């Protein structure tokens, strides 16, 4: 087990009658950025606070770097947390804010100042040490919060919705900076967000949580291309979920969608009622019907510059489609024919 890895073995957390975490088993590899993603109230912050030692587990075992820290208090865990509110001291200079945690640990003043300067340089704020937090932009303040966490040389960096106080435009910029700092320093980081795009953009691995447990864990690509449930298919990227009936047909899968049937080129564990995952960008539209096509009426068409979005009314329900802007444009009321490449499609349980 290497430095900074995090392991939960059947960890639960209850607040009186509230079950904040059902038995949770997870493994976060050293040097990676792992995101806890899920809707509000699913247990993300609780999981982070358990790693930090700010909450104690009701049951189970927590290991950091292979060491059992289940009963170790927060002070002795080598982890630092970045909060969404930054929590900077407004009357202290940026350098003093960054050095604060070191002074608490009784690191000599001179050494603390040198380390604070180095941490500010790592987050691209060299020369900003003498300013007050109020003299920095929101994005810069968030970088100070990151500097204040990494100056303590934690084994694990914990970030709880670190971008939620930034406006949409800055968010993309700051998340890239956080990711680059984490990679440059080889830090193990656990990042919490409810925003799936943000999770996809920064993570080596994503643990999707729902109702106090793990719904699915994997790389961003695993989750998008091989969703294990309708919840994941819908939560990770847009998806049209169409009701189908499936049957095994040798090494292929026979899919019945209304009166249409076609084969997927792989076997399935599913049988009977299921959902077909059709991503908006996987939809093909043509004017003429073909053997496998589904007739549709264009209910809404929107030109967005980089794409055209369509809402299509079909006998199998509404289908949302995103097509390249260069293609043949269709207008509201047009009859079109929806097709797809069976290679692209996935099935999930109904």
Sites of contact with ligand ADP (CB under 6 A): 15, 18, 20, 38, 40-46
Asked if 141 is part of the footprint of Mg ion (rule: CB under 5 A), the reply reads: no
* Cβ 26 to ligand ADP shortest distance, Å: 15
Nearest to Mg ion of 45, 141 (CB atom): 45
The CB density around residue 86, as the number of other CB atoms within 10 Å, is: 19
User: From the list Mg ion, ligand ADP, none, which binds 218 (C-beta under 5 to 8 Å, kind-based)?
Assistant: none
Which segments of the chain does DSSP mark as H helices, in order?
44-52, 94-104, 109-122, 138-150, 168-185, 196-202, 220-225, 230-235
Nearest to Mg ion of 83, 340 (CB atom): 83
* Cβ 48 to Mg ion shortest distance, Å: 8
Taking the C-alpha atoms of residue 211 and residue 28, their distance in angstroms, rounded to an integer, is 21
User: From the list Mg ion, ligand ADP, none, which binds 101 (C-beta under 5 to 8 Å, kind-based)?
Assistant: none
Q: Tokens for 306?
A: 């980089």
| DSSP state letter for 39 | S
Asked if 46 is part of the footprint of Mg ion (rule: CB under 5 A), the reply reads: no
Taking the C-alpha atoms of residue 268 and residue 308, their distance in angstroms, rounded to an integer, is 33
Residue among 32, 45, 84, 203 that touches Mg ion (CB under 5 A): 45
Nearest to ligand ADP of 31, 41 (CB atom): 41
* Cβ 193 to Mg ion shortest distance, Å: 9
| DSSP state letter for 68 | E
* Cβ 260 to ligand ADP shortest distance, Å: 40
Asked if 47 is part of the footprint of Mg ion (rule: CB under 5 A), the reply reads: no
User: From the list Mg ion, ligand ADP, none, which binds 15 (C-beta under 5 to 8 Å, kind-based)?
Assistant: ligand ADP
Count Cβ atoms within 10 A of the Cβ of residue 256 and give its class: 0-12 exposed, 13-18 middle, 19 or more buried: middle
Nearest to Mg ion of 20, 94 (CB atom): 20
Taking the C-alpha atoms of residue 186 and residue 324, their distance in angstroms, rounded to an integer, is 38
CA terminus-to-terminus distance, the chain: 39
Nearest to ligand ADP of 165, 293 (CB atom): 165
* Cβ 195 to ligand ADP shortest distance, Å: 12
The CA–CA distances, whole Å, from 281 to 1, 136, 237, 319, 321 equal 41, 40, 11, 11, 6
User: From the list ligand ADP, Mg ion, none, which binds 89 (C-beta under 5 to 8 Å, kind-based)?
Assistant: none
* Cβ 212 to ligand ADP shortest distance, Å: 7
* Cβ 48 to ligand ADP shortest distance, Å: 8
At which residue do the structure tokens 């109904």 appear?
Answer: 350
Nearest to ligand ADP of 28, 336 (CB atom): 28
Alpha carbon of residue 263 to chain centroid: 32
User: From the list Mg ion, ligand ADP, none, which binds 41 (C-beta under 5 to 8 Å, kind-based)?
Assistant: ligand ADP
**By three-state DSSP, how is residue 295 classified?**
strand
Footprint on this chain of Mg ion (rule: CB under 5 A): 45
């Amino acid at each position: 087990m290497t430095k900074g890895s995090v392991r939960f073995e059947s960890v639960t957390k209850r607040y009186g009658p509230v079950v904040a975490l059902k038995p949770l088993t997870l493994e976060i590899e050293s040097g990676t950025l792992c995101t806890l993603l899920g809707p509000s109230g699913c247990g993300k912050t609780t999981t982070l606070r358990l790693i930090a030692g700010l909450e104690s587990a009701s049951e189970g075992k927590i290991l950091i770097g292979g060491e059992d820290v289940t009963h170790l208090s927060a002070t002795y865990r080598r982890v630092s947390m970045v909060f969404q509110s930054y929590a900077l001291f407004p009357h202290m200079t940026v350098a003093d804010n960054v050095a604060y945690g070191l002074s608490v640990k009784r690191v000599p003043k001179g050494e603390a100042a040198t380390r604070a300067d180095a941490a500010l340089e790592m987050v691209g704020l060299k020369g900003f040490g003498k300013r007050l937090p109020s003299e920095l932009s929101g994005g810069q303040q968030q970088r100070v919060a990151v500097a204040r966490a990494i100056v303590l040389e934690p084994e694990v960096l914990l970030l709880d919705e670190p971008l939620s106080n930034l406006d949409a435009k800055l968010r993309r910029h700051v998340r890239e900076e956080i990711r680059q700092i984490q990679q440059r320093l080889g830090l193990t980081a656990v990042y919490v967000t409810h925003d799936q795009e943000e999770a996809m953009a920064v993570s080596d691995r994503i643990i999707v949580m729902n109702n106090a447990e793990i719904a699915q864990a994997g790389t961003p690509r695993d989750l998008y291309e091989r969703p294990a449930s309708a919840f994941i298919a819908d939560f990770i990227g847009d998806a049209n979920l169409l009701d189908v009936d499936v049957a095994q047909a040798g090494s292929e899968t026979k899919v019945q969608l209304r009166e249409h049937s076609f084969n997927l080129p792989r076997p399935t564990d599913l049988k009977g009622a299921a959902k077909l995952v059709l991503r908006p960008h996987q939809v093909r539209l043509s004017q003429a019907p073909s053997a496998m096509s589904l007739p549709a009426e264009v209910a809404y068409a929107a030109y967005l510059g980089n794409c055209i979005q369509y809402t299509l009314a079909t006998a199998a329900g509404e289908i949302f489609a995103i097509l390249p802007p260069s293609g043949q444009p269709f207008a509201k009321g047009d009859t079109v024919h929806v097709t797809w490449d069976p290679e692209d499609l996935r099935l999930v349980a109904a």
